């Protein structure tokens, strides 16, 4: 019997290839793909929203407990809400490594803000959407709390199955929307938007009504929905999620939470937004990879995989598992490749102490195999590679590439196809 294919690894890789599907269960995967779809902190998203006429609470940001206390005093509000800033949701129900429960706290006393902030900043906050150990909190948002009489859910997504933007809403907000989608699918409403025509008044009105906004609140909600959609387009977002999109007893429609993801391909025209990117929540190795236009995914096996394209990464992953091995990581080279990138890739792959063998599986379509081969031989020499290296190259200029490798005098094992490569890589690890 063949070993089962690692479901988690498959999922990770699939998410590299595809955009996060509509209302897909959120998991660590979203964190891992944040590099591809820039993710901003709540306070940054809310700043963009308020600059564009969307209603959010007054707030300050603090990175020390004393700043948080000062901010709470300065707000001069009846009640204050203190919120840990991390790039994951579910903070309300999260737990800090300091022992404090809840990443969102309401209080009337500014002094309490200071005390709570002390137990947030510098500690890890673990929620349903973070890795088990949580994510370190570096900043807190100190905002004017408003009473909430009703919580709804609103999101705007770029959706593959709709070939464009879609509004998604539910009158049951505040809670985990994935659960509503399962338990009460009839309470999830969608409006497909024609990206050329833009959002129609009737669509915004219908969504406001479906969300349960009544009387004058309906127009107000529709107006907010339109403003959110226009912002979504203007900033090249792939997702704007407001949960809760709430109403106050005073008759205000307010965005109490905000999560915006951006299309990384739009970086060239969204310079101000991308300048806000705080990469500190990424794995350092992912950031290092991104500097060279490489995509890195860490896994827990011992065979490092160097591939081009997420599809090939998935196939490589499967075939390693089928042959009884486990990938340690994946480095995706993508399309236009330079020799120096190959060198950097090897440097990153071999920096992981778990790695006991390297498998290169490159299909040269746009990529020229000879460039890869030159990169590999250079990397082997300069990095004094100590682990077995199995190389499978196929496609453009493959013969020259093979000559480069075989004439290099380096202990490189060539493979004729993917199956052969996986077998050889697994065998080289087993031998040790």
Binding site for Mn ion (CB under 5 A): 243, 257
Residue 389 CB: number of other CB atoms within 10 A? 25
Residue 190 contacts residue 166 (beta carbons within 8 Å): yes
HSE-up of 125 (CA within 13 Å, CB side)?
29
Q: Is 92 annotated as a binding residue?
A: yes
Is there binding between residue 55 and ligand GDP (CB under 6 A)?
Answer: no
Q: Which residue, 424, 375, 367, 425, is CA-closest to 398?
A: 367
As a whole number of angstroms, the distance between CA 428 and CA 424 comes to: 6
Q: Which of 37, 59, 256, 292 binds ligand GDP (CB under 6 A)?
A: 256
As a whole number of angstroms, the distance between CA 131 and CA 135 comes to: 7
Min CB(93)–Mn ion separation in Å: 10
Which one-letter DSSP state was computed for residue 39?
B
* DSSP state string for 274-314: HTT--GGGS-HHHHHHHHTT-EEEE-SSSEEEEESSHHHHH
Catalytic residue among 42, 151, 191, 241: 241
Length reported for the chain? 432
Q: Is 287 annotated as a binding residue?
A: no
Residue 71 CB: number of other CB atoms within 10 A? 23
As a whole number of angstroms, the distance between CA 15 and CA 314 comes to: 10
Q: Which residue, 25, 253, 239, 80, is CA-closest to 151?
A: 253
Of the pair 106, 214, the CB lying nearest ligand GDP is at: 106
Residue 337 contacts residue 371 (beta carbons within 8 Å): yes
Contact window for ligand GDP (CB under 6 A) among 60-68, 141-149, 396-404, 416-424: 141-149
Of the pair 95, 383, the CB lying nearest Mn ion is at: 95
As a whole number of angstroms, the distance between CA 84 and CA 139 comes to: 6
Q: Which residue, 295, 280, 305, is CA-closest to 421?
A: 305
Of the pair 90, 324, the CB lying nearest ligand GDP is at: 90
Residue 425 CB: number of other CB atoms within 10 A? 33
Q: Which of 247, 257, 332, 339 binds ligand GDP (CB under 6 A)?
A: 257
Catalytic residue among 153, 292, 296, 343: 153
Is there binding between residue 174 and ligand GDP (CB under 6 A)?
Answer: yes
Of the pair 91, 326, the CB lying nearest ligand GDP is at: 91
Residue 237 CB: number of other CB atoms within 10 A? 28
Q: Is 243 annotated as a binding residue?
A: yes
Is there binding between residue 89 and ligand GDP (CB under 6 A)?
Answer: yes
As a whole number of angstroms, the distance between CA 2 and CA 191 comes to: 45
Is there binding between residue 81 and ligand GDP (CB under 6 A)?
Answer: yes
Binding pattern for the stretch 209-248 against ligand GDP, x by CB under 6 A and - elsewhere? ----------------------------------xx----
Q: Examine the residue annotation and report whether 153 is marked as an active-site residue of this protein.
A: yes
As a whole number of angstroms, the distance between CA 76 and CA 71 comes to: 9
Of the pair 122, 174, the CB lying nearest ligand GDP is at: 174
End-to-end CA distance of the chain: 24
User: With CB under 6 A, what is the number of residues at the site for ligand GDP?
Assistant: 19
Q: Is 36 annotated as a binding residue?
A: no
Is there binding between residue 91 and ligand GDP (CB under 6 A)?
Answer: yes
Q: Which of 8, 108, 147, 265 binds ligand GDP (CB under 6 A)?
A: 147
Q: Examine the residue annotation and report whether 241 is marked as an active-site residue of this protein.
A: yes
Q: Which of 10, 26, 60, 90 binds ligand GDP (CB under 6 A)?
A: 90
Min CB(105)–Mn ion separation in Å: 14
Contact window for ligand GDP (CB under 6 A) among 64-72, 139-147, 321-329, 413-421: 139-147
Of the pair 92, 164, the CB lying nearest ligand GDP is at: 92
Q: Reduced to 3 states, what is the DSSP secondary structure of residue 66?
A: helix
> 266 touches which of Mn ion, ligand GDP, none (CB within 5 to 8 A by kind)?
none
Is there binding between residue 92 and ligand GDP (CB under 6 A)?
Answer: yes
Of the pair 256, 363, the CB lying nearest ligand GDP is at: 256
As a whole number of angstroms, the distance between CA 263 and CA 420 comes to: 38
Q: Which residues are annotated as a binding site?
A: 57, 90-92, 146, 243, 257, 308, 365-367
Q: Which residues are annotated as a binding site for substrate?
A: 308, 365-367
Q: Active-site positions?
A: 153, 241
Q: Which residues are annotated as a binding site for GTP?
A: 57, 90-92, 146
Binding positions for ligand GDP, rule: CB under 6 A: 57, 81, 83, 89-92, 104, 106, 145-148, 151, 174, 243-244, 256-257
């Amino acid at each position: 019997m063949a070993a089962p294919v690692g479901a988690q690894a498959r999922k990770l890789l699939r998410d590299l290839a595809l955009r996060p599907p509509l209302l897909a269960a959120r998991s660590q995967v979203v964190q891992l793909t944040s590099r591809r779809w820039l993710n901003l902190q709540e306070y940054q998203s809310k700043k963009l929203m308020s600059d564009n006429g969307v209603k959010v609470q007054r707030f300050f940001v603090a990175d020390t407990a004393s700043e948080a206390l000062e901010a709470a005093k300065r707000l001069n509000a009846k009640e204050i809400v203190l919120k840990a800033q991390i790039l994951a949701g579910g903070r309300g129900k999260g737990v800090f490594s300091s022992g404090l429960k809840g990443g969102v706290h309401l209080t009337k006393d500014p002094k309490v803000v200071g005390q709570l902030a002390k137990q947030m900043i510098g500690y890890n906050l673990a929620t349903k959407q973070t890795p088990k150990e949580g994510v370190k909190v570096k900043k807190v948002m100190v905002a004017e709390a408003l009473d909430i009489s009703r919580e709804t859910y609103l999101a705007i997504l770029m959706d593959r199955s709709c070939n464009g933007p879609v509004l998604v809403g539910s009158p049951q907000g505040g809670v985990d929307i994935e659960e509503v989608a399962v338990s009460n699918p009839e309470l999830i409403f969608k409006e497909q938007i024609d990206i050329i025509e833009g959002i129609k008044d009737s669509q915004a009105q219908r969504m406001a009504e479906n969300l349960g906004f009544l009387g004058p609140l309906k127009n107000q909600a529709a107006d907010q929905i339109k403003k959110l959609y226009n912002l979504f387009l203007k900033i090249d977002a792939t997702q704007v999620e407001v949960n809760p999109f709430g109403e106050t007893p005073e008759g205000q429609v307010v965005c109490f939470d905000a999560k915006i993801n951006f299309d990384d391909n739009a970086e060239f025209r969204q310079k101000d937004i991308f300048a806000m990117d705080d990469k500190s929540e990424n794995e350092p190795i992912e950031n290092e990879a991104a500097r060279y236009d490489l995509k890195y995914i860490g896994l827990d096996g011992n065979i490092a995989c160097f591939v081009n394209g997420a599809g090939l990464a998935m196939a490589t992953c499967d075939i390693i598992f089928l042959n009884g091995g486990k990938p340690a990581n994946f480095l995706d080279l993508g399309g236009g490749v330079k020799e120096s990138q190959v060198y950097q890739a090897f440097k990153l792959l071999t920096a992981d102490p778990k790695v006991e063998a390297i498998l290169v599986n490159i299909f040269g379509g746009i990529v020229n195999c000879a460039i890869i081969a030159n990169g590999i031989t250079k990397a082997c020499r300069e990095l004094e590679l100590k682990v077995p290296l199995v190389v499978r190259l196929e496609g453009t200029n493959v013969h020259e590439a093979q000559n480069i490798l075989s004439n290099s005098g380096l202990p490189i094992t060539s493979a004729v196809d993917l199956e052969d490569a996986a077998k050889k890589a697994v065998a080289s690890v087993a031998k040790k």
